[in-house]
């Protein structure tokens, strides 16, 4: 059990455990009073619950394709103080959108599978969590663009090499880059992740920021500690 300040996360049966990528995305997302949020590939449900803690009147839907992870996430939701605003939908995002053709979101977030066309793990659950099948991101972006409200935003966290591919796909589908946060382990290192924000505004100037996780070996940066302070007991 991973204990946060306002909720707990059971990780039983989840291939993707709580990790830095997920909590960074959950803590960094900003939005202007979103009425409804969608978390695609919720895993344990941690990102959805972080957003529920911050956006206190927002309804959040979460989709998870892995059956056991979906069951665990749903239990986490029901045991959280935000249970009335969190809804878990088991299955693929394609199935979810087919079953709910009219619904639109002010904010869509995802920490998606990130190994593309790579040697896959022999464990099916890890494949689902970490490996993107050919065409996955094309389908994901095409679905997202149809489900964002006029001023809605999509936040993704991606490896740097995957990010370039996604930016191209998004542009083809009419989603325009609004912001990039380059995530570095240390200030002197090259970024290993990008948090990218897409929206419909084609005229927006792209804001580019840098975020450093550590200031020294085993010492978190002040920015990291401040960002996670509302959530982590250690901070």
Cβ atoms of residues 205 and 176 within 8 Å: no
Task: Give the pair of three-digit tokens for residue 146.
Answer: 């149809």
CA–CA distance, 19 with 2 (Å, rounded to integer): 11
Angle at 216 between CA 211 and CA 218, to 5 degrees: 100
Q: What Å distances lie between residue 6 and 9, 26, 60, CA to CA?
A: 10, 14, 17
May I ask the CATH architecture of the domain 2-228? 3-Layer(aba) Sandwich (3.40)
Side-by-side strand order, sheet with 148-159: 86-90, 59-64, 36-40, 105-110, 148-159, 193-199, 176-184, 207-212
Please report, in tens digits, the pLDDT of each residue of the chain (235 residues total): 999 999 999 999 888 889 999 999 999 999 999 999 999 999 999 999 999 999 999 999 999 999 999 999 999 999 999 999 999 999 999 999 999 999 999 999 999 875 444 444 455 444 443 444 558 899 999 999 999 999 999 999 999 988 898 999 999 999 999 999 999 999 999 999 999 999 999 998 999 999 999 999 999 999 999 999 999 999 9
Q: How is the chain split into domains, by residue range?
A: 2-228
């Amino acid at each position: 059990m991973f204990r946060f300040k306002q909720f707990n996360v059971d990780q039983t049966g989840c291939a993707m455990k709580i990790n830095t990528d997920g909590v960074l995305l959950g803590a960094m997302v900003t939005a202007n009073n979103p009425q409804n949020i969608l978390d695609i590939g919720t895993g344990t449900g941690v990102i959805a619950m972080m957003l529920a803690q911050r956006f206190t009147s927002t309804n959040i839907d979460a989709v998870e394709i892995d059956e056991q992870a979906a069951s665990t996430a749903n239990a986490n939701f029901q045991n959280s103080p935000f249970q009335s605003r969190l809804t878990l939908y088991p299955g693929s995002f394609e199935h979810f959108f087919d079953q709910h053709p009219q619904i639109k979101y002010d904010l869509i977030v995802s920490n998606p599978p990130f190994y593309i066309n790579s040697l896959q793990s022999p464990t099916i659950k890890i494949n689902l969590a970490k490996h993107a099948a050919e065409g996955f991101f094309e389908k994901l972006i095409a679905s997202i663009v149809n489900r964002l409200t006029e001023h809605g935003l999509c936040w993704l966290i991606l490896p740097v090499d995957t990010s370039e591919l996604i930016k191209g796909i998004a542009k083809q589908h009419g989603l325009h880059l609004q912001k990039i946060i380059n995530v570095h382990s240390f200030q002197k290192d090259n970024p290993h992740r990008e948090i990218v924000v897409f929206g419909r505004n084609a005229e927006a100037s792209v804001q580019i920021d840098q975020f450093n996780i550590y200031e020294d070996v085993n010492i978190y940066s002040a920015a990291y500690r401040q960002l996670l302070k509302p959530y982590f007991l250690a901070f």
